[in-house]
Amino acid sequence: MLRYALKRFLSLVLSLAVASLIIFFVIEIAPGDPATFMLGINAQEDTVAALREELGLNGTKLSRYLSWVSGMLTGDFGTSYTYRTPVAQMVADRLKVSLPLAIFGLLLSVLIGIPAGIYAATRRGKGGDIAVMGATQLGVAVPNFWFAMMLVLLFAIKLRWFGAGGFPGWDKGFWVCLHALTLPAICLALPQAAILARVMRSSLLDVLGEDFMRTARAKGLTHLQAVWRHGVRNAFIPVLTIIGLQIAFLLAGAIIIEQVFYLPGLGRLIFQSINARDLIVVESVVMLLVFSVIVVNFLVDLAYAAVDPRLRSRE
Amino acid sequence: MSLLSIKNLTLSIHGIPILRDVELAIAPGEIVAVTGESGSGKSMTALAVMQLLPQGAEIAGQIHLSDEDILAAGEDRMCALRGNDVGMVFQEPMTALNPVKTIGDQVAETILLHGAMDRAAAMDRAREVLARVGLPENRFPLTRYPHELSGGQRQRVVIAMAIALRPKLLIADEPTTALDVTTQAQILELLTGLVREFGMGMLMITHDLAVVAEMADRITVMRHGEVVEQGSTGDLLTNMQHPYTKMLFQASGHKVVLPAPPPPAPLLDVANVVREYRLPRTRLFSRPEYFRAVNHVSLVINRGERVGLVGESGCGKSTLTRAILGLEDVQGGHIRLDGEPVFSGQSPNLSVRRKMQVVFQDPFGSFNPRHKVERLITESFHLLDNPPRGAARQDAVAEALTAVGLSPDDAQKYVHEFSGGQRQRIAIARALIIRPELILFDEAVSALDVSVRAQVLDLLADLCRAYSLTYLFISHDLSVVRTVTDRVIVMQSGEVVEEGVTEQVFANPKHPYTRKLIAAAPVLPELGVVG
């Protein structure tokens, strides 16, 4: 088990190194000079050159890459070209909204999707299954901003249970913030829950056809006992893969939802930075996202091993 | 008073009749074998007793377990009976255990479920039962997972689960079909021992008449969902009434007559072959270790000769087969067909590959279901420099299909339209169509029913006469190898331990391992007594 974890960890470090290289050089070759952009088209040549010097845009590519990476390792993400504030601080402020939103969304997605999938699998072909499958079909097909608009119309404008958008800040209290994040989290979670439910259902149906499920019944377990004790854990591996993919999406893919609910999240930061050619912010945020995806994949790998003993002993 | 009594049992699933008027009785301590070919309803009879029938099952008649009316018992009552009063052992030990739970937990689950004792006592009982089935704790700790055990050991775990609460009735559905002969002998001995020791009744379902004849007290023969004949083993074997029973027994011991092989002229030359696999490293920086699956094996197959290759699973016979086919490189020695190496560089040597064809075990999995028979059997034409086209191609297809006893019209059908035996004929046609010098039969008749198997063996003998085939027949079934080969090679742990003229090896085995194999194989009683 330890060797398995170590091996996965090595692959994590390698992926991060490769990812940082790719991100740096891809963004480097993107057109548009930040200094010119910041000073406007009519700026003096020497002013631009001075700013380029100040921003550190003049060194060799390699030295700039190394200073970027070593800065990140020490928590120094550089200074935003547009706002002239530390990127680390900007990202941290946005994460205070995006991370709780992602976790909230993930929890909802898992709590709705997995039970729905299990329920549908145990009632295969019956009314409950058809209803759940129909609902997930809608969940997958309908874009989440439409959900967002409908939820706002219903809960914010008609019923007035929730605000229509905005984020009060954590200093206003935990429950107030949670309340503000509820509608966005539901919008984020619904399509993900629909996918999870479908994967859980088909994976569990596969497992239910296995011989050991029949063995479990022959021991005297009821159908439901057999499903819970022997089916669900075996069916979980593909579901874990999907959950891992969803975490990354929930963290970065919330741009539209942040826009609809006017939340100061990571997605909007990326959007604004790209528009402003604030490359250092884009680089940092993308690197952060890659980092979180790779870490999540590492955790998913560990979770596989926890679920399936065969993986533990194979490596 | 019988332990299990089945009367007028009729079953249909989604309106399709499966069982009709089945009658069966088992007394305590008695072993009753239900036998028959696939589709005879023997497994469904067992599942009916367990009330674990598939959806859409409609059942009528009576099943009584002691005084209990099974068909009137509700699902709750059945859950209480299963595992407690009736235990069941299944065919496929590799998949019958939950891969993510330890064997100790899985055995203890049966005990805990029925509330017989608390957790500590249940683990003690699990330990005791596992030791009883031959898995003592010092060698097989309760924390082992199924994937850490062999097929025979897994089957012992399944048996331990079934007998943990000493049920009155044990149902064993093809418990040894997936196992090697020596493992089969051990498992059968274990089951018989348990039945005698606990005074259980046992319903044993098997297609293997030799097994039936050796261990059953009474035999029930089924066909198409009906009982055609039943009686005590001695009576039934000496005095079979029903033609189907006679046919079954005759087909099981079916023998064919091969034409005499031509004078020896070497075709395949396997010299000193070593095949190794790299094992996963045990430590991060240790030198990789290797598992030697085939260890310095040499053998020669002469033109027109039929050679058998026998041995238990893991003995290296499949690895050797793949090496002969040139699918994998070898780490030592050489394999030559007609003087040319079968493996050259990174790929099989085409000029040699066209001289070899293979027929696999599984008639259901070894065809692409989307292709028509014509395309399937002409696939090997791509090996030829100048494959027949147009009318010549049609003729080749027609001839190959006719040779294996099918009709030329079958070329336009899909494989799902054929039965298992017919599919195996198609597989043979596919091998035959380019007139290979050598055919490898890898367990080619093992998945077939006895009557179908007998027909396919007859077909082989016919083809030997018509095309003077040369083949290597790889099988764990000694009785089949005995009849369709001239010479036999016995492998154990990657090495050839004995080799010789088939009849001589079987009649007078020299190596202890060969003797053990032959002794372990259940023997069909002599059929001279059959009227």
Same domain, A175 and A139: yes
State residue A205's pLDDT score: 93
Decide if A295 is inside a domain: no
Q: What is the mean pLDDT of residues A44-72?
A: 77
Report CB contact under 8 Å: B161, A219. Answer: yes
Residue A297 lies in a domain: no
Asked whether residue A6 is assigned to any structural domain, the reply reads yes
Q: A136 and A258: one domain?
A: yes
User: Which of B98, B114, B142 to probe by mutation at the A interface, max A CB count within 10 Å?
Assistant: B98
Tell me: do A101 and A238 sit in the same domain.
Answer: yes
Whether A262 is covered by a domain: the verdict is yes
The rounded distance, in Å, linking the Cα atoms of B424 and B429 is 9
Q: What is the average pLDDT across B152-165?
A: 91
Residue B466's pLDDT is: 87
Are A175 and A270 members of one domain? yes
The pLDDT value given to residue A30: 65
* Contact between A308 and B100 using a beta-carbon 8 Å cutoff: yes
Of the ranges A170-184, B174-188, B298-312, the best mean pLDDT one: B298-312
DSSP code, position B138: T
Same domain, residue pair A40 and A130: no
CB B248 within 8 A of CB B43: no
B281 alpha carbon, distance to own chain's centre: 33
What is the CB neighbour count within 10 angstroms for residue B213?
21
A128 and A37 part of one domain: no
Residue B100 near chain A (CB below 8 Å):
yes
Residue B216: what pLDDT? Answer: 92
For B98-112, write each residue's pLDDT tens digit.
999 999 999 999 999
For residue B143, give the chain A residue with the closest CA.
A309
CA angle A180, A185, A188 (to 5 degrees): 145
Residue B281: per-residue pLDDT: 65
Residue percentage of chain A with pLDDT more than 70: 93
Q: For residues A48 and A61, give the distance between their C-alpha atoms in angstroms, rounded to a whole number.
A: 19
Write the burial class of residue B338 (CB in 10 Å: 0-12 exposed, 13-18 middle, 19+ buried).
middle
Of A217, A219, A309, the CB nearest to B109: A219
Angle formed at CA B146 by CA B144 and CA B152, multiple of 5 degrees: 110
> CB B147 to CB A309 under 8 A?
yes
Whether residue B530 has pLDDT greater than 70: no
Q: Which of A19, A39, A73 is the last residue of a domain?
A: A73
What is the per-residue pLDDT across B5-60, written as a single tens digit (0 to 9) for each? 999 999 998 888 999 999 999 999 999 999 988 888 888 999 999 999 888 889 99
B96 inside 8 A of chain A by CB? yes
Q: A43-57, pLDDT tens digit by residue?
A: 777 777 777 777 667
Q: Are B221 and B244 in contact (CB under 8 A)?
A: yes
Across the interface, which of B50, B100, B280 has its CB nearest the CB of A315?
B280
What is the arithmetic mean of pLDDT over B358-385? 86
Number of structural domains (chain A) is: 2
Higher-confidence residue of B321 and B350: namely B321
Q: Is the pLDDT of residue B340 over 90?
A: no
Look at B148 and A218 and tell me if their CB atoms are within 8 Å. Answer: no
Indicate whether B505 pLDDT > 90: yes
Shortest distance, CA A125 to any CA of chain B (angstroms): 11
Residue A315, pLDDT score: 46
Q: Which of A215, A225, A229 sits opposite B96 (nearest CB)?
A: A215
Predicted confidence band of residue B528 (pLDDT cuts 50, 70, 90): very low
List the one residue out of B416, B383, B411 whose CA is nearest residue B396.
B411
Domain boundary among A44, A73, A102: A73
Looking at per-residue pLDDT, the higher value among A36 and A247 belongs to: A247
Print the domain residue range for A179. 93-275
Examine residue A66 and state whether it is found in any structural domain, yes or no. Answer: yes
Residues A41 and A101 in one domain: no
Q: Report in angstroms the alpha-carbon separations of A150 from A102, A104, A163, A264.
A: 21, 20, 13, 21
User: B531 pLDDT exceeds 50?
Assistant: no
Q: Is B284 on the interface with A (CB under 8 A)?
A: yes
In whole angstroms, how far apart are CA A36 and each of A39, A269, A280? 5, 21, 15
**Backbone dihedral angles phi then psi of residue B255, each to the nearest 5 degrees:** -120, 145
Residue A133 located in a structural domain: yes
Q: Is there a contact between B339 and B400 (Cβ–Cβ < 8 Å)?
A: no
pLDDT at position A310 is 82
Token output for A171 = 């200093």
Whether residue A193 is found in the same domain as residue A234: yes
Strand order through the sheet with B471-474: B356-359, B438-442, B471-474, B306-310, B487-492, B495-501
Nearest by CB: B80 against A3, A220, A309 = A220
Kindly compute the dihedral angle of the four CA atoms of residues B206, B212, B218, B221, in this order, to the nearest 10 degrees: 50
Q: Please provide the average confidence, as pLDDT, over all residues in chain A.
A: 84
Residues A118 and A259 in one domain: yes
Q: pTM of this prediction?
A: 0.82
- DSSP class per residue in B403-452: HTT--GGGGGSBGGGS-HHHHHHHHHHHHHTT--SEEEEESTTTTS-HHH
Are residues A139 and A240 located together in one domain of the fold? yes
Q: Do the Cβ atoms of A220 and B147 come within 8 Å?
A: no
CB contact under 8 A, A212 and B83: no
Q: Is residue A163 part of a domain?
A: yes
**Residue A291 domain flag:** no
Chain A, chain B: beta-carbon pairs less than 8 Å apart:
79
pLDDT, average across residues A164-170? 78
Minimal Cα distance from B47: which residue of A?
A218
Instruction: Retrieve residue A277's tokens.
Output: 């050619």
Mean local confidence (pLDDT), A68-80 = 80
CB contacts of A225 in chain B (<8 Å) are 113
pLDDT for B529: 44
Distance between start and end Cα atoms, chain B: 34
Q: Which residues of A touch B (CB under 8 A)?
A: 3, 6, 210-212, 214-222, 225, 229-230, 233-234, 307-310, 313-315
Kindly report the nearest CA distance between residue A151 and chain B, in angstroms: 42
What pLDDT, on a 0 to 100 scale, did the predictor assign at position B314? Answer: 80
When pLDDT is averaged across residues A196-205 and rounded to a whole number, the result is 94
Q: How confident is the model at residue A132 (pLDDT cuts 50, 70, 90)?
A: very high
Q: Is the ipTM of this complex over 0.85?
A: no
Nearest chain A residue (CA) to B170 = A218
Q: Are residues A110 and A259 in the same domain?
A: yes
Single out the residue in A73, A102, A125 at which a domain terminates: A73
**Cα–Cα distances in angstroms (integers) from residue B93 to residues A106, A178, B43, in the given order:** 39, 51, 16
Is residue A119 located within the same domain as residue A7? Answer: no
- Of A65-79, B150-164, B487-501, which gets the smallest average pLDDT? A65-79
Chain segment B46-75, per-residue pLDDT in tens = 999 999 988 888 999 999 998 889 999 888
Domain CATH code at residue A158:
1.10.3720.10
Q: Is the pLDDT of residue A218 over 70?
A: yes
Model confidence band, residue B344 (pLDDT cutoffs 50, 70, 90) = confident
